Amino acid sequence: MKKFTLGIVQISSSESIEANCKKAFSFIDQCIDECGAELVVLPETVTTGFNPGISPEALAGLSRTQLPEWLDRAKNKAKEKGIYLTWPTYESSEDSKAVFNTVYLISPSGDIVGKYRKTHLFPTERPENGGWSVAGNDTPVFDTPLGKIGIIICFDGDFPLLSMKLAEKGAQIILRPSAFLRSYDIWKLTNRARAYDNHVFVAGANCTGTDPSGTIYYGNSMIVSPTGQVLAHARGVEGVIYCDIDPQELDKITFGSSEKRIFDHLKDQNQNI
């Protein structure tokens, strides 16, 4: 892992996929101009908003027609800027009435490094509750020159075992694109806990404003160190945040100290209980 700058874009979404994507690209440019970020993280389902306000069938249709075009444009943006970029969007599934809630990781060459499909769907997302998504089952970790990157999406962060699995696979950074609606205390708690539990950086990119269904989000995106320190914190409005990701933080016992950590939550577990 090397030292690099990580940026988060925090924006709202509308009924227009084109407007949402062009806004995302504009804020990516702003983030790069401000800090020279090498990795930029966007909120959950940035192309459509978390709840697009349309039928599952209509959303599944968009995932096969319009959304792949904007994924290609996101690949071009990553190549143009020479960055790693997350592209959170809905992805078509074999079920004609449902989609995957997916995050693509795109490389500076414009290639797809890999993708993660949300494994823990919020109740309103599930088809049996009138929702639109089907769950993924894979938990990949992507080995990049920046470091080893794992991805979780919003509600996934409530489940400690998922982040632990990523850390056990070597993840040093966990990215968490979100459309988080529960209390700010829970949002901050879970980001800090997943970071501290697993000795990883966590970048939580949350939506702000409204989505097409009229749901209101409060932003407060954040980047958290492996010791649980909040390194960067957004407000409740559209904007960007960023900070340096320093591998030296992985081994510290606490922030503001040079003392080395002698414990390891993953290796020190009592396997006999």
Indicate which residues carry an active-site annotation: 44, 118, 154
Spell out the residues 6+ positions from residue 38 whose beta carbon is closer than 8 angstroms to its own: 4, 5, 6, 83, 84, 108, 146
Read off the tokens for 68. 């792949």
Please report which helix (H) or strand (E) contains residue 224, including its range: strand 222-224
Long-range contacts of 21-28 (CB under 8 A, 24+ apart): 21/46, 21/47, 21/70, 21/73, 21/74, 24/74, 25/73, 25/74, 25/77, 27/238, 27/239, 27/240, 28/77, 28/81, 28/83, 28/85
Read off the tokens for 15. 């009924």
Strand-pair partners of 173: 149, 201
